[in-house]
A = this chain, B = another copy of it.
Amino acid sequence: MNYQDVLFLDKHDPLAAKRQEFSLPADCIYLDGNSLGALPLAAHKRASEVVSEQWGNDLIQSWNKHQWIDLPRQVGEKIAPLVGAAPGQVICCDSISVNLFKLLCSALHMQPDRKLVVSQADNFPTDLYMVQGVSELLSSERCTLQMVSEDTIENALNDQVAVLLLSQVNFRSGKLLDMQKITQKAHKKGILVIWDLAHSAGAFQVELDQCQVDFAVGCGYKYLNGGPGAPAFLYVAKRHQQFVQQPLSGWMGHKAPFKFDAQYIASEGVQQYLCGTPPILSMSVLDAALGVYEKLDMDLLRKKSVGLSELFMQSVDQYEVLSDLHLHSPLQAEHRGSQLAYQHPAAYAICQNLIARGVIGDFRAPDILRFGFTPLYLRYEDIWQAVKILAEIIGDKTYLDEKYTTEQKVT
């Protein structure tokens, strides 16, 4: 493919206009929307309204006047179609970590005779940490983490296992698991399944209901563009809602939160997973950000995501100087999320050098360069340029400069 072909792709991109709905920095190719999504103009506008008008002017009355009280449900229902959930199953609240704690406790409570929680050994660490926290609290008699490699998940499914906790897309490699097949196999062994959608929700159409998933969590600040640390969401399948309980029983999860009763009585439905007062500013911004997904054809989104990824891979292959980059992601698009990982011994320095050149990617220890593809605001031309710059950096060995060494980075 040559540059003219790339321009042709952009010109005929049915999602091209979506880019206009974002505020993007100049002179920057942003391949890290899977860490922190870009700023939607609607989110910018809402932030300003919530601060000046709702908080500043209407003050406490905004809980009713601007329906702050309904935000967790409202945002949940906006996310629901993106993850293939019928209404009444998704709610926005807390962080992924806190939500995992709630769901792990719920699921273990439903499995009184089983204690094993199976997860990927290279799941995102906080998922594993939360299981360890539950285990410490309840004792290993009630909860024991068993870590398995992604290739052996299905072998680990037996009737000792209480819960299977998996990230649908691996945060490092981008490997996409077969949600339907794995969930089905787990259910055959009586295992409840929690899917972490951090790198799936908003990246492609997820099908929770169709796959008969039991529980799920997901992130508001990656593909959903909800802003830094935007609240997370959780999903509880309708069929479980009347049997579940969860221990973070704060006032917002109460059946009658304004009665100020001393006795906790859980709300019905997924609302029982609410706990304390949510960060209204952050949640409002996520609410507005979700507007960019309205009436979006998710097939087009996925098609462009694959197109951007394939272009990246093909472009890398065109540069001889990039032959030391080793693809750490699955080769076939159907086994990948919306990101690519490449191994290189100098990945850290290369990542820093890329950033200095205006190409924002991600480093993941020990040797991974990670590039995220967000079809809503990336152009094919961006991909072309990014790989060109990557080739220059590696070809000219500019990354060896010592200024590209020590720093910290966040997911």
Whether B228 lies near A68 (C-beta < 8 A) is yes
Whether A281 lies near B229 (C-beta < 8 A) is yes
User: Who on chain B is nearest to A245 by CB?
Assistant: B136
- A242 within 8 A of partner (CB): no
Whether A137 lies near B136 (C-beta < 8 A) is no
CA distance A245 to B101 in the complex (A): 16
- A394 within 8 A of partner (CB): no
CA distance A283 to B410 in the complex (A): 17
- A35 within 8 A of partner (CB): yes
Size bracket of the A interface? 35 or more
Residues of chain B contacted by A97 (CB below 8 angstroms): 248, 250-251, 275-277
Task: Name the interface residues of A149-196: CB closer than 8 Å to any CB of B.
Answer: none
- A128 within 8 A of partner (CB): yes
Whether A55 lies near B69 (C-beta < 8 A) is no
- A94 within 8 A of partner (CB): yes
Residues of chain B contacted by A411 (CB below 8 angstroms): 251, 277
Whether B64 lies near A129 (C-beta < 8 A) is no
Whether A64 lies near B408 (C-beta < 8 A) is yes
Copies in the complex: 2
Residues of chain B contacted by A280 (CB below 8 angstroms): 227-229, 282
Whether B68 lies near A98 (C-beta < 8 A) is no
Whether A44 lies near B69 (C-beta < 8 A) is no
CA distance A130 to B251 in the complex (A): 9
Whether B36 lies near A129 (C-beta < 8 A) is no
CA distance A260 to B121 in the complex (A): 11
Stretch of A46-54, A321-329, A385-393 contacting B (4+ beta carbons < 8 Å): A46-54
- A355 within 8 A of partner (CB): yes
Q: Shortest CB–CB separation between residue A75 and chain B, in angstroms?
A: 13
Residues of chain B contacted by A54 (CB below 8 angstroms): 228
Q: Shortest CB–CB separation between residue A216 and chain B, in angstroms?
A: 16
- A134 within 8 A of partner (CB): yes
Residues of chain B contacted by A229 (CB below 8 angstroms): 68, 277-281, 283
Q: Shortest CB–CB separation between residue A74 and chain B, in angstroms?
A: 14
- A112 within 8 A of partner (CB): no
Residues of chain B contacted by A147 (CB below 8 angstroms): 262
- A210 within 8 A of partner (CB): no
User: Who on chain B is nearest to A32 by CB?
Assistant: B60
- A318 within 8 A of partner (CB): no
Residues of chain B contacted by A12 (CB below 8 angstroms): none
5 closest residue pairs by CB, A with B: A95-B276, A97-B250, A97-B276, A133-B249, A228-B280
Interface residues of A (CB under 8 A from B): 23, 25, 28, 30, 32, 35-36, 38-39, 43-44, 47-48, 50-52, 54-64, 68-69, 94-98, 101, 105, 121-122, 124-126, 128-130, 132-134, 136-138, 147, 221, 227-232, 245-251, 254, 258-264, 275-283, 285, 355, 360, 362, 364-365, 407-411
> Apart from A30-B59, A94-B94, A227-B280, what 6 extra A-B contacts exist at CB < 8 Å?
A39-B56, A47-B48, A63-B228, A64-B408, A229-B279, A229-B280
